[in-house]
């Protein structure tokens, strides 16, 4: 009898410990401490196979796949790991409906909605449709699928769940998700608040309220919801991440960084958390720190999104050789269909700054092939200008201006046509520049130069108004623009001398020589006029 009691006690103790441990797994997953969840599950699985263990390990992989959405290779890898676990759980004799739920979520994330529905229905059938929590989880799986049919299925399941337990707060958070998926934010917020009214300590509901408010740019209210999450559960890592996002958007970078650091710490250095932190450092323009952090994380992973960000960061730091080397490694690993326009833009930028302009053009064009809404024609024009391929430069600037006219491209187009000796076109574009920016000195300088080419003997005085404008624009900073003013005075001296207005010729020749004693032409004019008894104009 004594041995029986001891054996029974051992069995009950094991069941209690097992239950407690699975609760820890669920909590770790909820807190996004995936490293901890995996560790516990691996310990449990070493002592025996249970479908529950496979299910929760599959969920961990699913969540990591969702976190890896920017890295297609990592995402696919985690999705396949999740599928293996769910299938392993289903293969056990002790059927556990949640593994069908997990497999349904897998197919929903893979956009195979037909297979997703089959597995969701199996989960429902195996459970008998009497488990409220499973009904809620199934509804959330359908919401994840996102189609109208799936939204309708989710609505039916949640309606049934409400009739079974109208005071279950999780039902209302799921209803909020359903409305949020359809971008009906007002109703989503109402349901999340209903969940809080039923259970004021439900961290999940406060968190979803905060995310919705953040989405609507209600930063102060959103911050209060995230602070409430932390108050209720100081180890709830997602709240620190979202606080980081919130402060980042509000331009409060130190607080953003502090919260992201807490997020990484709370997830025990979870890989995806570290990846997110690296992304944050890049987005907040802390490029050197991003390089340091990424290089540390890359010791434990070969995730492509980090290689991408490392290359970007080197390029932002003007370390173009390392940027090119890193992106070369990235391109070698990532399938072309998973590369993005920004990859090619940064690679082109690095090439452009490494005197490889003609190759840079190829990558700017690749970027535009991926995203037709992008306009890198101006950058392409700059590349062609660098190697003095003026016809190609002109064509690129014309294209850029046809999409979005701007001062810089008009100016560069003027320079291209000027170098092609098409002075009418050049003049036309410089005039466009001063229409947009009437005080832009370089445009007047180039207009004066072009006018000189069109009127080499100054008979028409085409450059005169431009040199007069140069004098006017430089009046308040004469020392800085000494050369420009000397050139303008010299032109006006010659023009007035040629048109027999000697007093004005004397005045401008004198000004030119004062600024540039080596100006022989102005000096000769001045000397002749002095000997002729001409007096300068007052």
In eight-state DSSP terms, residue 475 is: G
Q: How far apart are CA 309 and CA 290, in angstroms?
A: 8
Q: How far apart are CA 444 and CA 457, in angstroms?
A: 19
Q: How far apart are CA 403 and CA 397, in angstroms?
A: 10
Q: Comparing C-alpha atoms, which of 42, 128, 26, 135 is closest to residue 85?
A: 42
Structure confidence at residue 380 (pLDDT): 95
Structure confidence at residue 1 (pLDDT): 41
Task: Output the six-digit token pair for 138.
Answer: 């199934």
Q: How far apart are CA 469 and CA 284, in angstroms?
A: 43
Q: Nearest-5° angle of CA 238, CA 243, CA 247?
A: 150
Structure confidence at residue 302 (pLDDT): 67
Contact criterion met (CB below 8 Å) for 500 and 511: no
Contact criterion met (CB below 8 Å) for 521 and 488: no
Domain ranges of the chain: 285-374, 388-438, 443-538
CATH code matching the domain that covers 443-538, chosen among 3.90.110.10, 3.40.50.10490, 1.25.40.10, 3.20.20.70: 1.25.40.10
Structure confidence at residue 422 (pLDDT): 97
Task: Output the six-digit token pair for 34.
Answer: 């995936």
Q: Comparing C-alpha atoms, which of 288, 251, 284, 280 is closest to residue 263?
A: 280
CATH numeric code, 285-374: 1.25.40.10
Structure confidence at residue 8 (pLDDT): 35
Q: How far apart are CA 438 and CA 430, in angstroms?
A: 11
Contact criterion met (CB below 8 Å) for 51 and 95: yes
Structure confidence at residue 12 (pLDDT): 36
Q: How far apart are CA 427 and CA 444, in angstroms?
A: 10
Helix (H, G, I), strand (E, B) or coil at 373: coil
Which residues of the chain, if any, have pLDDT below 70?
1-20, 70-71, 269, 300-302
Indicate if 443-538 has the same CATH topology as 285-374: yes
Contact criterion met (CB below 8 Å) for 400 and 381: yes
Structure confidence at residue 318 (pLDDT): 96
């Amino acid at each position: 009898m004594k041995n029986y009691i001891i054996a029974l006690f051992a069995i009950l103790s094991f069941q209690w410990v097992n239950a407690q441990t699975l609760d820890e797994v669920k909590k770790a997953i909820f807190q996004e401490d995936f490293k901890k969840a995996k560790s516990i599950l691996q310990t449990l699985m070493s002592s025996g196979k249970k479908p529950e263990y496979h299910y929760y390990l599959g969920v961990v992989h699913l969540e990591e796949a969702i976190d890896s959405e920017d890295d297609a290779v990592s995402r696919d890898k985690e999705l396949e790991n999740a599928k293996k676990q769910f299938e392993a759980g289903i293969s056990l004799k002790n059927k556990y409906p949640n593994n069908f739920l997990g497999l349904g979520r897998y197919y929903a994330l893979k956009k195979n909605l037909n297979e997703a529905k089959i597995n969701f229905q199996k989960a429902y059938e195996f459970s008998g449709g009497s488990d409220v929590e499973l009904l809620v989880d199934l509804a959330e799986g359908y919401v994840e699928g996102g189609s109208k049919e799936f939204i309708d299925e989710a609505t039916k399941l949640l309606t049934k769940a409400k009739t079974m337990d109208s005071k279950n707060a999780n039902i209302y958070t799921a209803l909020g998700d359903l409305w949020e998926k359809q971008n009906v934010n007002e109703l989503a917020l109402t349901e999340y608040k209903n969940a809080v009214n039923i259970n004021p300590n439900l961290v999940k509901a406060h968190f979803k309220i905060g995310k919705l408010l953040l989405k609507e740019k209600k930063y102060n209210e959103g911050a209060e919801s995230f602070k409430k999450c932390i108050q209720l559960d100081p180890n709830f890592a997602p709240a620190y991440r979202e606080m980081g996002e919130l402060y980042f958007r509000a331009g409060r970078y130190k607080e953003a960084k502090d919260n992201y650091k807490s997020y990484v710490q709370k997830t025990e250095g979870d890989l995806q958390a570290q990846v997110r932190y690296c992304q944050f450092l890049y987005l907040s323009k802390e490029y050197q720190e991003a390089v340091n952090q990424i290089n540390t994380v890359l010791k434990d992973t070969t995730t492509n999104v980090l290689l991408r960000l490392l290359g970007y960061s080197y390029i932002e730091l003007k370390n173009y050789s390392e940027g090119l080397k890193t992106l070369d490694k990235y391109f070698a690993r990532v399938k072309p269909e998973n590369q993005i326009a920004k990859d090619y833009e940064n690679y082109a930028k690095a090439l452009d700054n490494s005197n490889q302009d003609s190759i840079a053009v190829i990558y700017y064009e690749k970027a535009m092939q991926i995203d037709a809404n992008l306009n890198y024609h101006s950058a392409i024009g700059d590349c062609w200008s660098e190697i003095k391929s003026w016809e190609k430069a002109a064509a690129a600037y014309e294209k850029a201006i046809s999409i979005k006219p701007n001062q810089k491209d008009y100016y560069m187009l003027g320079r291209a046509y000027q170098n092609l000796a098409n002075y009418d076109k050049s003049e036309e574009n410089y005039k466009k520049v001063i229409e947009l920016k009437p005080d832009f000195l370089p445009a007047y300088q180039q207009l004066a130069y072009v006018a000189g080419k069109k009127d080499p003997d100054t008979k028409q005085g085409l450059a005169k108004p431009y040199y007069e404008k140069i004098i006017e624009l430089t009046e308040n900073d004469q020392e800085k623009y000494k050369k420009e003013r000397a050139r303008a005075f010299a032109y006006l001296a010659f023009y007035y001398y040629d048109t027999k207005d000697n007093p004005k010729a004397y005045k401008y020749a004198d000004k030119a020589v004062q600024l540039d004693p080596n100006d022989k032409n102005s000096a000769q004019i001045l000397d002749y006029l002095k000997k002729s008894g001409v007096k300068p104009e007052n």
